Structure 1
Amino acid sequence: MLEPAQSFVGIVFWVVAIAAFIVEIWAFADAVMRPAGAYAAAGKLTKQLWLIILGVALLFGLAGAVRFVSIIQMLPVIGFIAAAVYLADVRPAVRPYGRRGGSSSSGPYGPW
């Protein structure tokens, strides 16, 4: 039987893994919604390459969230770092180019 402190630490690590998985879902969903031309226009890696990177990160995060691998192991950490790089560097660069399906003739508050 686990000591109370060990079970508390295990729960904290599991909550951190769930939070990291949510960040990875957010990054992947955002990458899907951005137009492919925005990545090239911003001077970043292609959309397809980012989707592959974030998809693998999502799998690593899922493995950590369902406790298939421990949060201390490197795969979930690498997955979170990939999502964090996308959200901190790539997303702000491609954000001005809009989302898929957006019209370039839209006004600041939506289509005219």
Structure 2
Amino acid sequence: MLVEAFGEVMYWVSIGLLVFTLVALIDAAVHRNDAYRAADKQSKGFWLIILGIAVAVNLFFGILNFLPILGLIATIVYFVDVRPALRQVGGGPRRRRGSSSDGPYGPFNGR
């Protein structure tokens, strides 16, 4: 019974790790390529390859191997170091820009 419970916990941990890595991969894909250069980080292709390998390792090897741990480390580095730098330089997806008449609190209607 204890072994079954441990197996179930490890299953959910591996699913959580897979989701965490997939979110990092999607986030890395959404940012523009020039944002990586502006933030002085490795290229977008580098992070897509590293995080893609981490997703594949999580899918095929499970949690009881050391390879998913390496993928987790890469994912944590992305979330802790690269993602905040990309957000600081404004390298997110192309967003709708406000109108030239927008003030700091919303549109300025001239009234």
TM-score between both structures, scaled by the size of structure 2: 0.81
CA contact (8 A) 1:61 1:80 kept: no
CA deviation digits over 1:10-50, x for unaligned, max 9? Answer: 11111110000000010000000001111111110000111
Which structure carries more relative contact order (alpha carbon 8 Å, separation 6+)?
Answer: 1
RMSD across aligned positions (CA): 2.2
Query: Matched residue pairs, number?
Result: 102
Distance 1:102 1:27, change over 3 A: same
* Runs of 4+ displaced beyond 6 Å: 107-110
Say if 1:21 and 1:62, in contact at 8 Å, map to a contact too.
yes
Gaps of 5+ in 1: 64-68
Pairs within 5 Å for 1:21-40: 21-40=18-37
Deviation at residue 98 of structure 1 after TM alignment = 3.5
Identity rate of aligned residues, in percent?
A: 39
Q: Structure 2: state its 5+ residue gaps.
A: 107-111
Check 1:15–1:37 CA distance in 2 against 1; reply closer, same or farther (3 A cut). Answer: same
CA contact (8 A) 1:28 1:51 kept: yes
